[in-house]
Amino acid sequence: MRKFAVNILFFLLFGISSNAQIYTGISINNNYVTDNVTIWGYGAGYKITAGYKINTKTKAEFNVGSNLFSIYYFSGDRYKINSYYVNYSYKIFNTQKIKPYISLGSGFFQKKTNIPVMDDNSPNILYSIDYTENGIGILPTIGFEFKHPGIENLNWDIGLSYYRIFTEHPVNLVQLKIGLLYYFDFQTNKESD
């Protein structure tokens, strides 16, 4: 907990002392696994974001998220993917109302699978085996931000991402996210987003 608090303090001090504007956000997402025809599924999850708006066109952020999947093959296994990654975004053009962007992210992913072991003579599950795979992944994203009509410094963020996660059993998935980003205004001379 102490290390986490020190990292948050460093993050805030860097943002306040530099020309970068700090923002934070949360999003919910819907995921579709696209491994092949016989293995498909869906899942839902969340993501927590903290980042810096470097200038009016570029942002860098750190994301932590978790997704739970149901996979339809064999016995209907379930698995969970925890993610820790950095993302770099570039706004294609910057208007007052809508801000489309492209981004590229990379980081660490942990896939936890729960595999049921079944009785040969009946459909009953005897016990489950938990299996964990760690790997790196990449995720390009296209999306757009637009201002929340009622709250200053709050933006809606909608994006479509493709994840390629390199584990022992690689994962391909498509993710649709909907979230909110809040831009802190520590310095009065900043351009508004």
pLDDT of residue 37: 45
pLDDT of residue 84: 93
pLDDT of residue 123: 73
- Mind giving me the DSSP string for 125-161? EEEEEEEEEEEEEEEEEEEEEEE-SSSTTEEEEEEEE
Q: 25 CB contacts (<8 Å, ≥6 apart)?
A: 48, 49, 157, 179, 180, 181, 182
pLDDT of residue 87: 93
Residue 159: Cβ-neighbour burial (10 angstroms; 0-12, 13-18, 19+): buried
Give per-10-residue mean pLDDT for the chain (193 aa): 62 66 92 64 87 91 86 60 93 88 96 78 77 93 93 94 89 92 72 50
Which domains are seen in the chain, by residue range? 2-183 (2.40.160.20)
Dihedral angle sign, alpha carbons of residues 58, 190, 184, 30: negative
Q: 169 CB contacts (<8 Å, ≥6 apart)?
A: 111, 133
Helix or strand run (H / E) with residue 45 = strand 40-53
pLDDT of residue 137: 95
The structure tokens 């942990």 sit at 110
| Model confidence, pTM | 0.78
Q: What is the dihedral of CA 99, 100, 106, 108, to 10 degrees?
A: 70
